[in-house]
Amino acid sequence: MKPPLTLYLAAPRGFCAGVDRAIKIVEMALAKWGAPVYVRHEIVHNKFVVDDLRGKGAIFVERLADCPDDRPVIFSAHGVAKSVPAAAEARNMVYVDATCPLVSKVHIEAERHHANGLQMVMIGHAGHPETVGTMGQLPEGEVLLVETAEDVARLTPRDPGKLAFITQTTLSVDDTAEIVAALQAKFPTIIGPHKEDICYATTNRQAAVKAIAPKADAILVVGAPNSSNSRRLVEVGAKAGCGYSQLVQRAENIDWRALEGITALGVTAGASAPEVLVNEVIEACRARFDVTLEYVETAVENVEFKVPRVLREPA
């Protein structure tokens, strides 16, 4: 007899429109120009997706210098500093920008504030490619990075009266609210975004986890260790009252000992994790438990982003 398990499956989960578009861009580029197509940085933070595209002829590199002049190069969904496309143009390269449109929106926002004479404060994670790309939209020193409310206390801008803030799109909604409150307390005239920078997919996935957390003994988040939005889901689950949250790349990475004796399990996936990996986790649970599947849907997503025109035109 297998022990009974109620499996709460989060919806929305997994791929968002920006990830969908980025993967499609690589596939369409391979169809249009043939292999190899170079991709600067992992197109999205998921090993399964990257390995699949590598098998189709994509070559992943960390620097533009590692790409030849005569093959197309794609910039990842996380966005790149202004200097990257400029360097590609200087070398007459064919390039396609797969930056998520919601990240591009933050880039445009930063440029608009800069043009109005404001210094930017960016709430984000140091070294994350999205943060590097966003800070790289403006000249050195024009974007100050804060990761925590404590960082805000140490902030010394050029002119405290001429500030605006932007955020990385994949942060924890609650942690960011705390940092924004600290910024507004210290700099009362700081200008914020018209609409939340944290993207709809990040917000929706976190809301679904919050709905599941009080009912679950444990939560499994399918995602990659370098995926910011997946790691935030683990933290959100723990903060929302679930005793145990685990990030797993695939079913084979599940620590079953930690799940001994549970009767309710939440399952979700970060925005760059494909549904096939979620199904793999569900099947692994069915092999060990008598599973009753329950869907917890907190939002319906129907966002779609167009691929760049260059890929819609014939070769």
Domains of the chain: 4-15+200-297 (3.40.1010.20), 17-100 (3.40.50.11270), 102-186 (3.40.1010.20)
Integer Cα distance of 289 and 269 in angstroms: 20
Q: Please state, as a whole number, how many other Cβ atoms lie within 10 Å of the Cβ of residue 233.
A: 29
- Find the catalytic residue in 42, 109, 130, 280: 130
Residue 64 has pLDDT above 90, yes or no: yes
Provide mean pLDDT across the span 239-254.
Answer: 96
Q: Tell me, what's the pLDDT at 226? A: 95
Question: Which candidate, 292, 300, 314, places its Cα nearest to that of 5?
Answer: 292
94-99 — which CB contacts under 8 Å span 24+ positions?
A: 94/33, 96/25, 96/29, 96/72, 96/308, 96/310, 96/311, 97/308, 98/21, 98/22, 98/25, 98/26, 98/43, 98/74, 99/75, 99/133
Pick the closest to residue 233 from 250, 219, 243, 253 (CA basis).
219
Residue ranges with strand state E in 82-217? 95-97, 119-123, 143-146, 163-167
- Residue whose entry in the numeric block shows the structure tokens 């683990």: 234
Say if residue 218's pLDDT is above 90. Answer: yes
Write down the mean pLDDT value for the chain. Answer: 97
- Asked if residues 8 and 294 have their Cβ atoms less than 8 Å apart, the reply is yes
241 conformational bin, left if phi > 0, alpha if psi -120 to 50, beta if neither: left
pLDDT band at 121 (very low <50, low <70, confident <90, very high): very high
Closest to 146 in 3D by CA, of 115, 181, 117, 113: 181
What is the three-class DSSP state of 223? coil
Q: Give tens-digit pLDDT for 136-193.
A: 999 999 999 999 999 999 999 999 999 999 999 999 999 999 999 999 999 999 999 9
130 counts as catalytic: yes
Residues in contact with 314: Cβ distance below 8 Å, sequence separation at least 6, in sequence order = none
Distance between CA 43 and CA 312 in Å, rounded?
19
pLDDT band at 280 (very low <50, low <70, confident <90, very high): very high
Average pLDDT (73-94) is 97
Q: For position 195, what pLDDT does the model report?
A: 84
Is the pLDDT score of 120 beyond 90? yes
Contact 175, 137 (CB under 8 A): no
End-to-end CA distance of the chain: 59
